[in-house]
Amino acid sequence: MRHFVCIHGHFYQPPRENPWTGVIERQPSAGETHDWNVRIARECYIPNGRARVVNERNEPIAEVNNYSWLNFNFGGTLLSWYEKAYPDEYRRLLEADRESAERLEGHGNAIAQAYNHMIMPLANVRDQATQVRWGIADFKHRFGRSPEALWLPETACDDVVLRLLIEHGLKYAILAPHQARRVRRLRAGEKPDLDKEWMEIKDENIDTRHAYRWFDRRPRQQGKIDIFFYNGSLARAVAFEKLMAHSPAAAQRILSVFDAHLRSAQLVSIATDGETYGHHEPFADMGLAHLFKYELPKQGMPVVNFGYYLAKHKPICEVEIQPGLQGFGTSWSCAHGVGRWLEDCGCGAENGKHQKWRKPMREALDWLRDRLILVFEQKGSAVLRDVWKARDGYIQVILNPDERSTSFFLARHLRGPCSPQARRKALALLEMQKFAMFMYTSCGWFFAEISGLEAMQNLKYAARAMELARESGGPDLEPEFLRLLKAAPSNVPEFEDGEGVYLKLVRPATASSARA
């Protein structure tokens, strides 16, 4: 077999828990269900673990665990909720990874994700590192193995991010075809061939049927990582053109991408939001199951994951990626690099709404992040041996929030005896830092309005972080934060600006949580 297929599902929801209670509150916009996590789980996550295959009379003839065939990632914050809400379905997800590893010579379908879906090129260096380390630790805790790759939120990437993946031993990344800048052939031994001419990539004209190798070009560096660029046309057809509604047509569309005259191995890969299969597109989970069980085997196209394919078929070309506007990197869902999380770029506009609030909100959060760093270093150094090593290690407490794990963590990181006061202060400061990262969850900028559910959630995390800073002996940061938020105009006259959103929607949540 020389023709292979890999379909990746990026399954993700932002953390939705109230940062004071740890409970997801009722979300009326989710309709009859309690919240969006429950609704999407019922429409997508659970059905994909038990996808029905029916015949022409709509009679069930088979059941497929799509996760056994999908290359996939689940966000760590989503899985922490899913494990508690649907433990049987959670275990089914883990079992699918084990089944795929048995079938594909040790290469499981699951990969890790930057922990709480922060746009990596826009993060500071410490947050980038912690996001990767927490994502890897979460993956190992759940899947019992090291990940071969880590999903970059919104595939947002630049050279710095790729170097970070290399430093953490990751083998490959998944990017959109328009994120490639130029390519050239590798010489024998998978080394750069400096005599070869570069071919510039325009309009997605990169051959996505094989992996590419990216080299760290800094002096005295020898790092490298492989990159798969998914087929953009097929991905759009699946995500927006209902291709999976008719699996025979989907199989033919996939088959048409292969070059019958090439003797070398070829891979057709697709990457979309996993929620496409059942939530965005009802019954697409069933179409996907039929594709996996019948249509692809019928056409002689075995389904593999990226890790397996890479182990068998090494890159034949080198690639450089696009730097993006202002050098901030690129992503799969913004035509302006990463402008969707930075400025009023027009992406995500709804009914004439502006996004002029995006830049001031990010600037306010950046200011707050930097002030929280000062609090963390000044107050934390009195109780923690190394504040940043402690933050990286705090994921173990998040994953195992019992007394034994917490005590073990504190014994390792506290500077002195584990007194009740030192314990409370250390844990409060580490929670502060957790929320300082959660306030950058990408969904907060993705849509059109600062008073939306996702942006408001980020502001709640900011409010909780400021509260913990005050409780730890730091200054009251809220007045200046509100002054900066005032520069973020809302599309809703009732709120006027980010300060209005905070005072009318966020601060009442803090008060009600305190009463509870």
For the stretch 489-509, pLDDT in tens is 999 999 999 999 999 999 998
Out of 183-192, 274-283, 295-304, 459-468, which region has the weakest mean confidence (pLDDT)? Answer: 183-192
| pLDDT at site 189 | 67
The helix or strand, by DSSP H or E, that contains position 186, with its residue range, turns out to be strand 180-187
Amino acid type, 84: K
pLDDT at 440 exceeding the cut of 60: yes
Instruction: Quote the crossing angle between the two packed helices 420-438 and 403-413, to the nearest 10°.
Output: 100
Higher pLDDT, 436 or 2: 436
Q: What SS3 state is found at 123?
A: coil
| pLDDT at site 350 | 84
Mean of the pLDDT values across residues 47-52? 98
Residue 214 CA: distances (Å) to CA of 11, 91, 182, 284, 361: 26, 36, 11, 34, 34
- Arch. (CATH architecture) of 3-16+43-327: Alpha-Beta Barrel (3.20)
Q: What is the per-residue pLDDT across 471-492, written as a single tens digit (0 to 9) for each?
A: 999 999 999 999 999 999 999 9
Long-range contacts of 433-436 (CB under 8 A, 24+ apart): 433/372, 433/376, 433/391, 433/394, 433/465, 434/394, 434/398, 435/19, 435/461, 435/462, 435/464, 435/465, 435/468, 436/368, 436/369, 436/372, 436/461, 436/462, 436/465
Task: From 440, 380, 390, select the one nearest 413 (Cα to Cα).
Answer: 390
Count of Cβ atoms closer than 10 Å to residue 415 Cβ = 14
Q: What is the per-residue pLDDT across 198-214, written as a single tens digit (0 to 9) for each?
A: 999 998 999 999 999 99
| pLDDT at site 382 | 97
Q: Record the pTM.
A: 0.97
- Per-residue tokens: 263: 């003797």
In the chain, where are the structural domains located? 3-16+43-327, 343-515
pLDDT bin (cut points 50, 70, 90) of residue 375 is very high
